[in-house]
């Protein structure tokens, strides 16, 4: 647990010298710990949000307008970087005042390295979200600064991430302190994951192909246990019940979230509905907002892929039974002794939906399973407030697939090995990182019969993209994957047009010049222009809002 995680009053109790001064606050390790706690609060505020990640969720065509927030309209995809500015400021506050602390260098260094890690994460995400954004000089200079280029933002992120590589591995990070650090704190493994993704971004989006090898090397450090001990969960069900819950052996870096502790700011995963949220508003055919039809899910996850019935619920069932057990109504795929209502999913699929279109057959996302409810005397049914689980940013499975991508770009045959490891887990054929049944492996190993049916045997990069899409469903990766893979198409490194084929009709109309002018990056919110006449909207969005 973070020490006094939600209490910020300590940060304004500044001990004065002869007059009120902030500089006297930086004394001992307790002061450093307080600043680090505030840094973690800032990080939670930043990375618990979706930013652009909802744009790229797999979606049935009927739900383009509903499920995808960015239709490239005048008022869409608009964000302020103020929260990132706060995170960078808090990082700089620690780094700029290191010389003031009256503690030994070795005692203070872990706090400085945590600040470097968060600063690196902030600038990397700013590069991915806006393409161009300001670099904030320090914690005492508040002058106007113009936008920096994406390359400059990535340089700043890289510099800080390389410093953060001096952090200990996560298994050692709690030594010498009386309370437990959670995986939201930086460690050597999370710094390596940041660098792996940063170098892959440079290789794909900036077309600096030499970085594929560097990205691969950082993936290898993680996979081979050089930067900490990480291991894949046993099967997809364990991914849902343990990895997505938080603090698992597969997780590398995650953001703390617990609606039971803080209802008002609880993390809520987009797309979670029935049966995870089991109230009347979310029952089938009512307020559920599926992104995929059941038939889409079946196409995405073939028979034998265990993610089909772990990541989704009732995919292969025709009926859902609401059984009364004691004082609760529990959804089930089997009828109980006291069935309150039965849902015929085929009839729901053929009925008129409240959206004014023919419903296409609901799917029920089941990957995130830990809801939190509040019970009030004046409301008959409980109120859903969010999830009691962490937000996983990096985990070992996505690192395997990132390494496969890096290797494929270098024409290395062992890219297939990484791809097949994740497929082996998906098909229940992996234990302790080793394939259990070699004969069964033929069912899914690339290029499988499914790959050939989907035309994937001609493009291993597309096969890797599809595997990331399936494995990392709704974890915030897909849009950034589309940008990274898509820019490889624009730059001649791939043969499939991800940008125009994998999002929505609005993106199909983008020209290469639109993309060059910043169509894939967020529009800058008006707050960012206040008191700073040096900021300019990127060319694409400037045309849109005129």
The string of pLDDT tens digits covering residues 434-484 is 999 999 999 999 999 999 999 999 999 999 999 999 999 999 999 999 999
Q: Tell me, what's the pLDDT at 6? A: 35
Task: Pick 358 or 418 by higher pLDDT.
Answer: 418
H/E stretch holding 430 reads: strand 430-431
**Over residues 49-61, mean pLDDT:** 84
Phi, psi of 358 (to 5 degrees): -75, 125
Evaluate whether 5 touches 40 at the Cβ level (below 8 Å).
Answer: yes
Evaluate whether 345 touches 319 at the Cβ level (below 8 Å).
Answer: yes
Phi, psi of 242 (to 5 degrees): -120, -55
Using 50, 70 and 90 to split pLDDT, how confident is the model at 76?
Answer: confident
d(CA 314, CA 391): 25
Q: Is the pLDDT of residue 70 over 80?
A: no
What SS3 class is residue 410?
Answer: coil
Q: Which residues contact residue 5 at a Cβ distance below 8 angstroms, ignoring those fewer than 6 apart?
A: 37, 40, 41, 256
Task: Pick 256 or 76 by higher pLDDT.
Answer: 256
Residue with tokens 């070699």: 438
Q: Tell me, what's the pLDDT at 263? A: 65
Q: Tell me, what's the pLDDT at 374? A: 85
pLDDT digits (tens, 9 = 90+) for 95-130: 999 999 999 999 999 999 999 999 999 999 999 999
Distances (CA, A) of 306 to 52, 309, 441: 28, 6, 14
Evaluate whether 442 touches 248 at the Cβ level (below 8 Å).
Answer: no
Using 50, 70 and 90 to split pLDDT, how confident is the model at 217?
Answer: very high
Nearest alpha carbon to residue 201 among 160, 142, 151, 258? 151
Q: Tell me, what's the pLDDT at 362? A: 81
What SS3 class is residue 385?
Answer: strand
CB neighbour burial string for 316-343, b if at least 16 within 10 angstroms, e if fewer: eeeebbbbeeeeebebbeeeeeeeeeeb
Evaluate whether 332 touches 309 at the Cβ level (below 8 Å).
Answer: no
Evaluate whether 147 touches 133 at the Cβ level (below 8 Å).
Answer: yes
Torsion over CA of 262, 267, 271 and 274, rounded to 10 degrees?
A: -30
8-12, 68-72, 177-181, 483-487: the lowest-pLDDT one: 8-12
Q: Is the pLDDT of residue 288 over 70?
A: no
Evaluate whether 48 touches 391 at the Cβ level (below 8 Å).
Answer: yes
Q: Tell me, what's the pLDDT at 354? A: 46
CB neighbour burial string for 250-269, b if at least 16 within 10 angstroms, e if fewer: bbbbbbbbbbeebeeebbbb
Nearest alpha carbon to residue 235 among 291, 311, 134, 166? 311
Residue with tokens 């820019």: 487
pLDDT digits (tens, 9 = 90+) for 368-404: 999 988 887 777 778 888 899 999 999 999 999 999 9
Q: Tell me, what's the pLDDT at 402? A: 99
Mean pLDDT computed over every residue of the chain = 89
Give the relative orientation of helices 478-490 and 460-471 as an angle to the nearest 10 degrees: 170
What SS3 class is residue 43?
Answer: helix
Q: Is the pLDDT of residue 357 over 60?
A: no
Q: Tell me, what's the pLDDT at 281? A: 76
Using 50, 70 and 90 to split pLDDT, how confident is the model at 424?
Answer: very high
Phi, psi of 362 (to 5 degrees): -65, 145
CB neighbour burial string for 96-129, b if at least 16 within 10 angstroms, e if fewer: bbbeebebeeeebebbbbbbbbbbbbbbbbbbbb
d(CA 288, CA 361): 11
Task: Pick 20 or 179 by higher pLDDT.
Answer: 179
d(CA 214, CA 403): 10
pLDDT digits (tens, 9 = 90+) for 297-334: 999 999 999 999 999 999 999 999 999 999 888 999 99
Evaluate whether 147 touches 535 at the Cβ level (below 8 Å).
Answer: yes
| Whole-prediction pTM | 0.93
Q: Is the pLDDT of residue 360 over 50?
A: yes
d(CA 164, CA 176): 19
DSSP-based helix, strand, coil % in the chain, nearest 5 = 45, 10, 45
């Amino acid at each position: 647990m973070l020490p006094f995680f939600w209490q910020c009053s300590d940060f304004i109790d500044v001990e004065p010298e002869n007059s009120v001064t902030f500089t006297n606050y930086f004394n001992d390790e307790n002061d450093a710990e307080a600043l680090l706690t505030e840094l973690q609060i800032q990080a939670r505020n930043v990375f618990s949000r979706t930013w652009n990640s909802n744009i790229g969720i797999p979606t049935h065509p009927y739900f383009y307008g509903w499920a995808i927030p960015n239709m490239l309209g005048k008022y869409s995809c608009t964000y302020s970087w103020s929260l990132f500015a706060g995170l960078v400021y808090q990082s700089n506050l620690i780094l700029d005042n290191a010389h003031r602390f009256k503690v030994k260098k070795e005692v203070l260094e872990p706090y400085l390295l945590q600040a470097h890690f968060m600063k690196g994460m902030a600038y990397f995400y700013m590069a991915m979200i806006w393409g161009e954004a300001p670099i904030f000089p320090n914690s005492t200079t508040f002058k106007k600064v113009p936008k920096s280029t994406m390359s400059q933002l990535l340089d700043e992120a890289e510099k800080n991430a390389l410093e953060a590589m001096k952090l200990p591995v996560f298994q050692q990070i709690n030594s010498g302190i009386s309370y437990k650090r959670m995986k939201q704190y930086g460690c050597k493994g999370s710094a390596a994951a940041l660098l792996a993704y940063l170098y892959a971004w440079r290789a794909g989006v900036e077309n600096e192909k030499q970085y594929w090898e560097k990205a691969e090397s950082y993936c290898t450090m993680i996979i081979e246990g050089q930067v900490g001990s990480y291991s894949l969960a046993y099967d997809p069900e364990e991914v849902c019940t343990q990895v997505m819950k938080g603090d698992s052996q597969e997780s590398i870096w995650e953001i703390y979230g617990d609606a039971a502790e803080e209802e008002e700011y609880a993390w809520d995963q987009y797309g979670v509905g029935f049966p995870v949220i089991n109230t009347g508003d979310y029952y089938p055919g009512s307020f559920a907002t599926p992104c995929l039809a059941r038939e889409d899910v079946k196409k995405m996850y073939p028979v034998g892929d265990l993610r089909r019935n772990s990541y989704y619920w009732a995919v292969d069932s025709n009926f859902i039974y609401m059984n009364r057990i004691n004082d609760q109504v529990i959804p089930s795929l089997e009828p109980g002794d006291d069935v309150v209502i039965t849902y015929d999913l085929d009839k729901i699929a053929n009925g008129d939906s409240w959206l004014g279109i023919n419903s296409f057959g609901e799917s029920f996302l089941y990957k995130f399973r830990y809801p939190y409810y509040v019970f009030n005397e004046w409301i008959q049914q409980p109120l859903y407030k969010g999830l009691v689980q962490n937000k996983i940013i990096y985990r070992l499975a996505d690192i395997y697939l990132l390494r496969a991508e890096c290797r494929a770009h270098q024409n290395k045959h062992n890219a297939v090995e990484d791809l097949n490891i994740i497929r082996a887990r998906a098909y229940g054929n992996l234990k302790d990182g080793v394939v259990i049944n070699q004969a069964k492996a033929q069912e899914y190993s690339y290029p499988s019969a499914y790959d050939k049916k989907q035309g994937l045997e001609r493009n291993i990069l597309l096969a890797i993209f599809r595997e990331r899409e399936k494995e990392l469903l709704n974890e915030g990766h897909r849009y950034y994957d589309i940008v990274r893979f898509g820019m490889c198409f624009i730059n001649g490194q791939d043969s499939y047009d991800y940008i125009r084929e994998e999002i929505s009709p609005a993106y199909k109309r983008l020209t290469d010049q639109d993309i060059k002018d910043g169509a894939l990056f967020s529009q800058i919110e008006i707050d960012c222009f206040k008191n700073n006449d040096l900021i300019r909207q990127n060319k694409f969005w400037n045309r849109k809002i005129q």
